[in-house]
Structure 1
């Protein structure tokens, strides 16, 4: 259940005390290891409703330990760690240290009170940051961050846990005071007022000094109150069915107060209280639902509260408020139809150092000051549909939409509960919650169709899933529920009604988002595992979708060439599948290039360019490159020979130079959106040009090749029938980067422009023709043209354009017809 604030609606009566409340274009700054058209663009929507400030069981403990009077009761300074790793190891802000195995709820960082609790937002932020700082993911995807928008900047407020008295008559047990409609108290932790106040909590007024808040409270509840270690209650706002606190900053009372002589009305639900339609319209109308008590102790006049997201209003004979800590509150944005309910903190972009720094800054622990740079759990409601609506715009048509537009896109929704605000500002109690049950809002027949906040969210997810444009075929939505309030799959037992209904709602969202599975977590370790599983699922789709395919007819056979990549292991491959007469592919590949390679043949057919000249540079075997090409710094233990060996065989020297790549695997991650088939010369646009017909006839028996680029730095040419490696070529500017073996394979080395086969006049002669391969590397920063021999072998580099070297082309007819591929071609 999303716990929400009441501070803005807290009303002090009678005494008059006021309480303010395209086109798919080439991406030149790509840092990924796969083609830009395949690099997933992931938008994380983090629920920043106030309930996310609660711990994994729901209780909102942020800022605890800052109220000295309640340090032994409602505002403890420390908590048990279990398996959680806190964001800070500092001691409590109030001073001292925590016992072994415990951590401080609140610490002081630079003199500013900072949240260190095991809150759901802290758990989520730690898990997200851990993943996005992991090269396994940073090198294969883009990411951004969205949260729920608020009208104005959320501000920190004091929080008060509240306890409700029981109203059932009972007989007092020895050592206890049990009065119907009032709190009991006693010396044992097990309530001796079971029929009336079955629960016990540490008594905030135990051994309280005279002259404070507790003397007038004792006058109402009983003279023995301050001598009793335990307070007996019927319910607490920490209850999973309620999960709420009062948000109210005041200097008086300082730590505790009790409301009594009420409530009015006797309960907030129909028929004696308020109608459901009145509940739904309260934000838009400004007519809030109030439960009023005529008296308070200490005396601050009459007091009334109104619900927000939690939907709950206490209506017992007495309500005890105990100051606990600090948390944020921000007014809701009521119009979400145009995306106003989603706040795009970080636009989706490649996970380079600057982007990761933004995530680290935005997801720093909450500091209890207004206007900090970090994201905070401060939204009064959960406008999930509005955020999803904004996500569609921000992923596709806004000026902040990621590029390229055709790349696969995903949304990860992380939430601790249900949607509670619709697109038009109407609000709804969570299905199955205490308030939901009071208004008859429970899930019916496994369907979430009786809550517009839910149905509008499902519709928004469907719009994402069905969006198609420019090569983009739908945007999937993953759903991750955090906290015990949503971790209730059908196999679970002893779930609350709200937890069961919440899980069903999240399941409906996942099905609508075409991911079908609800990922849920009620521990920090489970959250990390769930979030990583989602990213792994997305990464697996890269491998499955891989780099596309090309087909060719060779003799009497037809083949489909399929490129695949496994980003987490640095594996790339291209396989050939025979196309059957039925048009279907054979179930097994005829060959794959990695299996056809050996250390021996790679050492003899891998090439680069000799020293720069002003004329076409010589094609030079990698094993014969000049030392200057490697640019090895003084003092390095590497030599040209070592670099050559681990480039030829990445597992060289027992794998000491793998740098994270898969052992025993030659080919790096693929970069081409599709492999390029190169048959004999046969360009219909050139037939009839001087000398071309004769050239095409003489080369008609040329062995067909398939060309594909890899981020191991090579453009590979393989026999289109057998898959055997004919040659591999690396632009000279990349050779110097081979020394960075642990990171080189992760860069966009041969990415950016799919190689094109061009027939052109050689050397400016009108009768001399040759076939050239025109392509690019490093997202277009390097452009080149390679001249081939009549057998398809490398002859020379005709020209190259890069930051350090420019060779003037000596080609004429035909080259003008070459067009570099964009990432989406």
Structure 2
């Protein structure tokens, strides 16, 4: 707000959307981060209005806890020193703080914002994204164009109840609002507070006793409220004062003032008196449109903030120009580029000359910000990878292109002045200014119906976004905070969705917390490519003529987002050398598992499961299994049948217009198209679904009438046949267990962005079951952002495990799914049911979760599935979780080893499941996937500094973690992404892959020596002094020139298959090209065995896969030998002959356990 009385006093009020930072896109074991050309050009446009100084719930706390000595008593009320650090946020100045941290840090007289303000949250998230993606994408940073900024002191203000003045009490009556009384015990308060409170008492508003002796002050509302999100900006007022004898006029709304008055800035509400006597006092609205008009308003000093005298309505400010780093940028180039962003993304300070982005705009000219982003892109040579704008806003547009101010749609001010909007096909909601547009088919559902809208600021913003779309520039919209989601302001939510529709991205990304913002940016990055393959083709371990093989792809185009798990028939046994080899796909897909006919809503209702609450004394995260229907169905449902596992609190529902109850959550979980026009689900009433809320659709960009959500590159798919692990044959009870389950239904398991681990019948594609971890359920209500959370990112494996080492019987064994989710923050073991007879054909279904371990902020190297080891006849899941404390130069990453019994959730000895890998030096952490050698009981991994390590596994992490030994080091030293181990003729070998080099080591005792190395420049061997030296390509083959190792190498019969991606040159467009480079493991030269692909002998050691990033293949056996299926991020073109064809390897099968598994 702004006043025209006394000095230049301004009050900033803005409706809070809310910002939360981008998270890095998790790196998959099959898709490590690579630098690609062409590079997308992305402008991150951030609306830095004054409200961005607010925290995630609306309170503007910048500068809090740093007052003059006379005001320090206000630390107990209006200006607290510390705050509780929200989950996922690292205070920028005190990164080691965990539970609480200071709002403000004073460094040599300069105050730094250390709080969880929206601006700090946004800056941290954007910095994280830049750090992850600058190697592969170009970025620019845009904010509002402002001028003549000044530093002000800020005041929180409290409005009295409309019935009269403030009331004071030592108890709080239910239904009333209270804050801490800033004058409590003022006779002993700091000097200035004592003086101000004495003046308030002397003014006759309250008796001194009432003012001093009551701890609480009853209010009507506060500027800290999320719907107000404001403070007073001033440099000439008392630190605490009360205004009264007003307001004049009684309200700021018609008939006293009109919308035209608002547009021209003519709104002014005043009070005749103040105590202490500051004279008459009045304010005008800023971008939230709010002006206090209660009988009394009390102002209490808080911190600092900024205000500007000029603000452009038509353009933005280029804070950082677009990078142009080219293919494979050097580390120094990346550091230089990042430094430009880091200066702008530093915390806000009280130094008016510092260059960081400050929250200082008194209105939100989003149309101008979008125009500025467009100007940045217009002046560039467009990348054929596309140009994009990511609009990050904590408020609706409040300034149109003609510099007229508009109150935010759906706010109290918007309602007061009659601001309204209509959205095609959306039902009206007069309480929020939404005009009824149901049945209007003049545009896409949810798009702005401009002729029936009077909010010119919104109309101009949509038009600016549409202008970019007409030039092929997509605009993604991230809404920050509760103020723009459907729970707080349905109109704001609809408006941001309309912006996304105009920008060609379909749906806004609501972000009410740090993880949500990270997930939003991660999802946006993934959508740059419209369709991807998630894995190389998957097949039964043993392939025979006519076997099915399976592909996993995802369409990521907004409005058509869908996962596809397809099965293809294969050719019969070859009749001649000219015949296609066994395992070659033949014909179109036999089925696609996401089809409604294979995964109908009725089946989903009975076959989707989760875990019940953990019993007292049970293993961490363990529980029995029940259907979502039973866990969450409320008593209003016709199918309500309360049982032991009825637990609606698990869903933690915060009801709102579109999600009024848990039944609605279940309805759109079972039927993603629920309540959307065109939903083809039959007999919806018979399913017991509730009546849909008019205007609410829950697809959030997904394909209509498709049941399987999109897949991320970090999801996983695997075939599950009968038990058959040769390494377990000697353990009691295993053979009869395997025999009893030899006829069980064969399954394809997969994870999806819709939050489920699914099992579909391997022959028919029909849904058998789906399981969602209990911790995911509370997020289902956030249907607009749930898929972008990518909760199941991480791989899984299947294993058989016994729950006892004492004379185990068949009944002590079971099959388990053991995996990682949340990028490696969550690990789990899901027990599957067993059959009691070899003639039984029942499918293995979830029967219990034996453990679940969550590490806040954790990640697993390469998002790998846990390694399964057998110790003392029992099976243990071994994995590493990395956690980082601090940020920037003070960031420190620590690796923790976990060893967890698959069946019991316990360690082999003691009680600790994990231990820090203390043998790793400071600054060193596990960076690679893990490899385990059963014959030696040794785990191998690589670190971020080129070190290769080994340690013995005993089932007890504390016993093992300190014994890690560094055995080898790459040359040059670089972060290792993958390691592998093998023995040939009884001698051990290890290989290590960095982003650009593969190295093979021979082991002897506790030492190693490099046999050879290969990069895109040359092949290498050590000279007589042990130094790697370039050698002829006929001695050691080089990797593809300019290539990057994109996925885990695989050893096949003595041949190391290395996936290599070569980006296109900077002057060309395309997806780049994938290759498998084939090396003889011992020499680095051409393979010594016969390799055939599509009936052609591979003689040059290279298989070209075509466009896309190559993925890691799996190894299978056929009647004619060992094969792998090639795969890349580009989905296979199944319309071409032999589009999915195996690569055949001669020589001896080196993985005997695989050969034994006959599915």
Match of 2:278 among 283, 300, 305: 300
Structure-2 change in CA distance of 1:727 and 1:660 (3 Å)? closer
Structure-2 change in CA distance of 1:624 and 1:300 (3 Å)? closer
Match of 1:371 among 346, 349, 353: 353
What do you get for the CA RMSD once the two structures are aligned? 4.2
CA contact (8 A) 1:62 1:327 kept: yes
Give the Å deviation of 1:229. Answer: 0.6
Match in the other structure for 1:116: 114
Cα distance in 1, alignment partners of residues 240 and 525 from structure 2: 46
Match in the other structure for 1:244: 230
Give the Å deviation of 1:109. Answer: 3.2
Given the two structures, how large is their TM-score scaled by the length of structure 1?
0.60
Task: Using CA pairs under 8 Å that are at least 6 residues apart, name the structure with larger relative contact order, 1 or 2.
Answer: 1
CA contact (8 A) 2:10 2:283 kept: no
Q: In the TM superposition, what whole-angstrom CA distance separates every residue of 1:568-589 from its partner, at most 9, and x where no partner exists?
A: xxxxxxxxxxxxxxxxx9969x
User: Structure 2: 5+ residue runs without aligned partners?
Assistant: 12-32, 420-432, 438-447, 535-553, 557-585, 590-1011, 1051-1056, 1079-1090, 1104-1108, 1111-1159
Task: Tell me whether 1:506 sits opposite 2:496 in the alignment.
Answer: yes
Structure-2 change in CA distance of 1:587 and 1:218 (3 Å)? farther
Match of 1:529 among 519, 522, 531: 519
Cα distance in 2, alignment partners of residues 64 and 543 from structure 1: 50
Give the Å deviation of 1:140. Answer: 1.9
Cα distance in 1, alignment partners of residues 168 and 273 from structure 2: 21
Give the Å deviation of 1:671. Answer: 2.8
Structure-2 change in CA distance of 1:138 and 1:242 (3 Å)? same
Give the Å deviation of 1:540. Answer: 5.7
Cα distance in 1, alignment partners of residues 158 and 215 from structure 2: 16
Match in the other structure for 1:483: 481
Give the Å deviation of 1:35. Answer: 5.9
Structure-2 change in CA distance of 1:123 and 1:309 (3 Å)? same
Whichever structure has more helix as a proportion of its residues is: 1
Match in the other structure for 1:165: 160
Match of 1:150 among 146, 154, 157: 146
Cα distance in 1, alignment partners of residues 284 and 299 from structure 2: 15
Cα distance in 1, alignment partners of residues 320 and 1072 from structure 2: 38
Give the Å deviation of 1:393. Answer: 1.7
Match in the other structure for 2:254: 270
Match of 2:268 among 285, 290, 307: 290
- Structure with higher Rg: it is 1
Q: In the TM superposition, what whole-angstrom CA distance separates every residue of 1:410-465 from its partner, at most 9, and x where no partner exists?
A: 11111112111111101100011121121122232365732111111111111111
CA contact (8 A) 2:1014 2:1036 kept: no
Give the Å deviation of 1:241. Answer: 1.8
CA contact (8 A) 1:218 1:226 kept: no
Match in the other structure for 2:216: 230
Match in the other structure for 2:3: 10
Cα distance in 2, alignment partners of residues 83 and 356 from structure 1: 26
Q: In the TM superposition, what whole-angstrom CA distance separates every residue of 1:609-651 from its partner, at most 9, and x where no partner exists?
A: xxxxxxxxxxxxx9999x997598999775769999997799x
Give the Å deviation of 1:729. Answer: 9.8
Match of 1:218 among 166, 188, 201: 201
Match in the other structure for 2:435: 444
Cα distance in 2, alignment partners of residues 139 and 724 from structure 1: 37
Task: Tell me whether 1:361 sits opposite 2:349 in the alignment.
Answer: no
Match in the other structure for 2:1048: 662
CA contact (8 A) 1:623 1:644 kept: no
Counterpart of 2:260 in 1: which secondary structure? helix
Match of 1:416 among 379, 385, 394: 394
Whichever structure has more strand as a proportion of its residues is: 2
Structure-2 change in CA distance of 1:713 and 1:112 (3 Å)? farther
Cα distance in 2, alignment partners of residues 226 and 646 from structure 1: 85
- How do 1:402-801 residues align onto structure 2 when only pairs under 5 Å count? 403-441=381-419, 442-445=433-436, 447=448, 449-467=453-471, 474-488=472-486, 495-496=487-488, 499-538=489-528, 630=1020, 661-664=1047-1050, 666-672=1058-1064, 727=1100
CA contact (8 A) 1:10 1:248 kept: no
Given the two structures, how large is their TM-score scaled by the length of structure 2?
0.43
Counterpart of 2:392 in 1: which secondary structure? strand
Match in the other structure for 2:926: none
CA contact (8 A) 1:11 1:19 kept: yes
Cα distance in 1, alignment partners of residues 454 and 1023 from structure 2: 69
Give the Å deviation of 1:360. Answer: 1.5
Structure-2 change in CA distance of 1:667 and 1:208 (3 Å)? same
Match in the other structure for 1:341: 316
User: Structure 1: 5+ residue runs without aligned partners?
Assistant: 1-5, 22-31, 92-96, 169-180, 283-287, 468-473, 489-494, 545-563, 567-584, 589-621, 651-656, 677-706, 731-744, 747-825
Match in the other structure for 2:948: none
CA contact (8 A) 1:87 1:365 kept: no
Aligned residues: 547
Counterpart of 1:456 in 2: which secondary structure? helix
Structure-2 change in CA distance of 1:709 and 1:182 (3 Å)? closer
Structure-2 change in CA distance of 1:33 and 1:418 (3 Å)? same
Task: Tell me whether 1:86 sits opposite 2:478 in the alignment.
Answer: no
